[in-house]
Each structure stands twice: as structure tokens, then as C-alpha cells.
Amino acid sequence: MAGVAGSARARFQGNAAREERGGGGGSRDGLGRAVRPFGEPAHGVVTGVVLVLPDGDPESARGRSALSHASALPLARALARAGRADGLAVHVVRYRGRGWNGTEARLAADTSRAADEAVRRYGDVPLCLAGHGMGGRAALHAAGHAAVNSVLAIAPWLPEDDLAADPEPVRQLVGRRVLIVHGTNDARSAPELSYRLAERAKKTNRDTCRFEVHTDGHALRHYQDEVQSLAADFVLGSLFARAYARPVADALAAPPPLGLRMPLAAGFGRAVRH
């Protein structure tokens, strides 16, 4: 079993390394080349951008994780495939390191730098930040960037409530469409913490919703297809003014707690959209 796990880890790291090679702009900008589905040619005019933000660690001085980068690729490729006809460019952000590191908030800073590079590269196009775990926290924190119009936080890692510390900020989410997705059995990132943040955000930003994936954990492996379909629906609706699927539109319109505890139905994306 150890050999199988080691082989899988090596494949993940190999995929990440291939994504890193040949990336435009070098490693300093954290952007690299656009992710494309296998066999797909480069698209023409870019009209919207998604920055996919990998998971990280609360505290670490180590360099970025190739495994986390590779784990972000399935979502990135799914979004690139869904948005191909709309001119969507998708990038997996390359952090300088893997640690959030307290008030330094390094992953959020790296996300803002990548957003700056996306603006330099593509011009005045709308930008969505889509992160998982610690990347979800980075997406929420960096939402105040002028180019960002939407935020997708999947199983966001959030700190435990501390009366002596400032709460997680939500003011930067005003004017953005916000979707949080969380598995109810997540043992790494407490689902109740993301609910509380969504509840605070909803008070100042009505365009906030949250979906719960019942019985799934941090990686959301059991409902990966449904989560990717939900992500694509939200991203394309937010960046390109497409009509959202009915459950997403209902969640955005519903008052709390209904719109913040919306169950993600099995088979989402395979049924008729409206």
C-alpha cells in the first residue's frame, strides 16, 4: 500500500511539475501559463479569468507544495473546459511558500500579486478567485482586489473563533458574488466556521450563498462531479452574466439560514439547468 501511495504522490508531483514548465512570466508572478483541458488548443481573446488557489498550511516555512498544486488541477481543467467558448483563462496560482503564517497572510498576498499579473496579462477583464482549503481563505481575503468580481471558497480553512483576535474580514466581499461550498463531515476545516463567516458576509453583501455537501469530507471526493458542476455554473454566471442554475439563483436570493445551508443535490449538473 505504501508503494501505491508513493506512486500516486509521484504522479501528482509530476503533473504539477509539467504545469510549471514553460509557464509565462516566470515563477515570481505566481501565474504561469493558462491551464487547458488535455488536447485543447489555446483559446483566442480572453474575456474572463479564474485564479485557482491550492490548499496550504496554517504555519510553514517550506516552499510551495507540488501535491497541493496538482490537487487543484482537476477543478482548473473542469472550469477551463466549461468556459472555453466564453474565452475563459484559468490559472493555478503558484505560491512562494505553503504557509499562511499568521498576520503575514502570505497566501493572500501571493493571490493579490497573481491578480495584478492577470490584469497586466489580460487587461480589464473580470476575475474570479476560486480556492480550496487555505486557498479558500486566500480567495476570501484577496477579494478586495479591484479586478475581482466573484469568489468561490471550497472547504475554506478558517481559524477558530478567538475573542482576543479580530474576526475574519468580510468587508472586502461587498460588491462581489460569493459562493462557499463545504462538506458537512470536514474534519480539517470546520463547516460551522464557514457558515458563521457567510452569515456575517450576507449582512453587508446580499450576493452571498453557501452550499453544504452532506456526508462529504475536506477533499469533497464523493461528490467531486457535483462540486465541479456547481463551481462552473457559479463562475460562468458571475464572469459572463449567464443565468445561474435554479439552485444557485435560489441560494443567492434566499435569506439566511436558507441560502447559507443549501444542500448540494446528488447529480447537480446532469439535470436540466432550469
Inside any domain, residue 19? no
Concatenate the DSSP letters of all residues of 19-75 into one string: HHTT-TTTTTSS--SPP--TTPPPPSS--EEEEEE---BSS--S---HHHHHHHHHH
Inside any domain, residue 146? yes
* pTM tops 0.85: yes
> For the domain that residue 114 is a member of, what is the CATH number?
3.40.50.1820
- Check whether the bond before 257 is cis (ω within 30° of 0): yes
Domain that holds residue 132: 31-263
pLDDT of residue 14: 46
Inside any domain, residue 51? yes
pLDDT of residue 12: 42
What tens-digit pLDDT sequence spans the chain (274 residues)? 444 444 444 444 444 444 444 333 334 568 878 998 765 555 579 999 999 999 988 766 776 767 888 999 999 999 999 999 999 999 999 998 877 877 778 899 999 999 999 999 999 999 999 999 999 999 999 999 999 999 999 999 999 877 667 899 999 999 999 999 999 999 999 999 999 999 999 999 999 999 999 999 999 999 999 999 999 999 999 999 999 999 999 999 999 999 999 999 999 998 644 4
Look at the chain and report how many structural domains it folds into. 1
Inside any domain, residue 97? yes
Inside any domain, residue 53? yes
Inside any domain, residue 21? no
Cross-sheet strand order for the sheet of 88-92: 88-92, 48-53, 127-132, 148-154, 177-183, 208-213, 262-263
pLDDT of residue 38: 61
Inside any domain, residue 272? no
Contact 216, 231 (CB under 8 A): no
pLDDT of residue 37: 72
Inside any domain, residue 22? no
pLDDT of residue 96: 86
